[in-house]
């Protein structure tokens, strides 16, 4: 079985999602099933069928998230002290074509969120950055173009 790399925040987010599903969404859905059942004929009761489908979704999601939690390998970036890019690093890059600066945190696929500046270590940019140091130039091939970056800063926080 393959471990799932997560930051402490990523693990907590998974745990919070499970707690919400179990303590909030599941009871609300059970109530919706009971209300729909009270309407009578279940064979033509759309609310009942929708609530039962939602129940199945909730139970499946709980199992999926609990499996990910069980497989989690928590890596705390603040405990990493090195000068090369690795999981958990926050990296400031300079796009050599546009002079734009970008800052990304390298995380596992479960935590990736490009809008929040969190990219997967398995993404094209993430793979290209691993083991690089400040001052290195990195070429990344993405579907739209090839990007040249210079690594400006590496932090583990």
Q: Burial letters for 44-72: b for 16+ Cβ neighbours within 10 Å, e otherwise?
A: ebeebeebbebbeebeeebeebeebeeeb
Residue indicated by tokens 């210079």? 150
CATH code linked to domain 77-155: 3.10.50.30
**Contact at 8 Å (CB) between 149 and 135?**
no
Cα atoms in the 13 Å half-sphere on the side-chain side of 100: 6
Could you tell me which residue, 47 or 139, shows the higher pLDDT?
A: 139
Residue scoring higher pLDDT (119 or 143): 119
**What pTM does this model have?**
0.78
Every domain of the chain and the residues it spans: 4-74, 77-155
Question: Alpha helix locations (H) across the chain?
Answer: 8-20, 26-38, 46-70, 124-129
Please give the Cα distance from 26 to 123 (Å, whole number): 34
pLDDT tens for 110-131 read 899 999 999 999 999 999 999 9
Q: pLDDT digits over 78-105, tens only?
A: 888 788 999 999 999 999 999 999 999 9
Output the CATH code of domain 4-74.
1.10.287.180
């Amino acid at each position: 079985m393959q471990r799932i790399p997560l930051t402490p925040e990523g693990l907590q987010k998974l745990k919070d999602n499970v707690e919400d599903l179990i303590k909030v969404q599941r009871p609300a859905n059970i109530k919706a099933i009971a209300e729909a059942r009270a309407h009578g004929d279940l064979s033509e009761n759309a609310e009942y069928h929708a609530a039962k489908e939602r129940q199945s979704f909730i139970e499946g999601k709980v199992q999926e998230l609990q499996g990910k939690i069980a497989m989690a390998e928590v890596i705390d970036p603040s405990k990493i002290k090195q000068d090369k890019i690795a999981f958990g690093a926050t990296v400031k890059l300079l796009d050599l074509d546009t002079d734009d600066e970008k800052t990304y945190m390298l995380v596992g696929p479960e935590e990736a969120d490009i809008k929040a500046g969190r990219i997967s270590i398995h993404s094209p940019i993430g793979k290209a950055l691993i083991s690089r140091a400040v001052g290195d130039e990195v070429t990344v091939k993405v579907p739209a173009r090839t990007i040249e970056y210079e690594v400006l800063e590496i932090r583990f926080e």
